[in-house]
C-alpha cells in the first residue's frame, strides 16, 4: 500500500489505528506530538522504525513479520504477538504490559523489572528462567509451551494470575511463596494429583488439572 495520508487527521489526536491496512513500513508520526497509542495490527511490517523518538505509551504490532526487537520508544504497553521473534531483547526499560504470544522464543531473558503483565504463551520455552527480578509482576501467562517444571517463581510475591496450561508439568512445586495468587490455570499437563497448594490462601480459581 502507498504511504499513509494523514492530512485529515488532527495533529492533537491521541490514538492512531491502522489495523489491517496493508502497510509494510511504520509511517512517520513525528507531527503528532500528543499521540499516546499507535495500533498497527495485522499488517506486513518487518522492521521497527520511525518511532524511537516518539512519546508513545502504547504500541500494538500484533500479527506482523517482525523478527528483531529494536528502535522502540519508552512505551508502557507493548504487543508483539504473532510475529517471528526468537530472542527477547531491547525491551523498553519502563514497560508494564508485554505480549509476545506465538513467536519462536525458547529462552526467557532481558525483561525489565517494571513488568506487571507478561504473556509468553505459544512459544518454545522449556524452563522458567530469569524472572526472579520481576517483583511487581501480577500476571504471568505461559500456556502452550514445553515447560516440564515449575521453578523460579519464589520471588514473584505480587503474582495474582499464573497460567501454565498445555505444558509438560507432572508435579506442582515451587508455589509456596506465591501468597497473593488468586487464579491458577493448569489444565492439559501431565498431573495425576493436585497438592502443594496449602499456602495459597487467596486462591479463588484453578482450572481442571486433568489432561
Enumerate residue ranges in the chain where pLDDT < 70. Answer: 1-3, 208-211
Per-residue pLDDT, 174: 87
Furthest C-alpha separation in the chain: 62
Q: Which of 109, 69, 108 is nearest to 92 (CA)?
A: 69
Per-residue pLDDT, 195: 81
Per-residue pLDDT, 1: 46
| Residue reference for cell 525483561 | 111
Alpha-carbon separation of residue 138 from 54, 81, 92, 113, 156 (angstroms): 28, 19, 18, 12, 8
Burial of 73: CB neighbours in 10 Å, binned 0-12, 13-18, 19+ = middle
Rounded to two decimals, the pTM is 0.95
Q: What's 53's DSSP letter?
A: T
Per-residue pLDDT, 210: 66
| Residue reference for cell 511504520 | 26
Q: Which of 141, 131, 78 is nearest to 107 (CA)?
A: 131
Q: Which of 100, 197, 208, 194 is nearest to 144 (CA)?
A: 100
Alpha-carbon separation of residue 110 from 36, 107, 129 (angstroms): 25, 10, 11
Per-residue pLDDT, 194: 82
Amino acid at each position: 500500500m502507498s504511504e499513509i495520508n494523514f492530512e485529515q487527521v488532527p495533529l492533537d489526536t491521541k490514538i492512531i489505528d491502522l489495523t489491517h491496512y496493508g502497510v509494510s513500513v511504520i509511517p512517520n508520526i513525528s507531527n503528532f506530538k500528543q499521540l499516546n497509542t499507535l495500533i498497527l495490527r495485522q499488517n506486513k511490517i518487518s522492521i521497527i522504525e520511525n518511532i524511537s523518538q516518539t512519546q508513545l505509551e502504547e504500541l500494538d504490532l500484533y500479527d506482523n513479520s517482525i523478527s528483531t526487537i529494536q528502535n522502540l520508544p519508552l512505551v508502557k504497553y507493548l504487543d508483539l504477538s504473532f510475529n517471528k521473534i526468537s530472542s527477547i531483547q531491547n525491551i523498553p526499560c519502563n514497560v508494564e504490559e508485554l505480549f509476545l504470544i506465538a513467536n519462536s522464543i525458547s529462552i526467557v531473558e532481558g525483561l525489565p523489572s517494571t513488568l506487571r503483565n507478561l504473556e509468553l504463551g505459544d512459544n518454545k520455552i522449556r524452563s522458567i528462567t530469569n524472572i526472579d527480578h520481576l517483583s511487581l509482576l501480577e500476571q504471568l501467562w505461559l500456556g502452550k509451551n514445553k515447560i516440564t517444571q515449575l521453578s523460579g517463581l519464589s520471588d514473584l510475591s505480587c503474582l495474582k494470575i499464573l497460567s501454565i496450561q498445555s505444558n509438560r508439568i507432572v508435579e506442582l512445586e515451587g508455589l509456596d511463596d506465591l501468597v497473593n495468587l488468586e487464579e491458577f490455570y493448569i489444565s492439559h499437563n501431565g498431573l495425576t494429583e493436585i497438592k502443594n497448594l496449602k499456602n495459597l490462601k487467596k486462591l479463588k480459581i484453578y482450572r481442571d488439572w486433568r489432561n
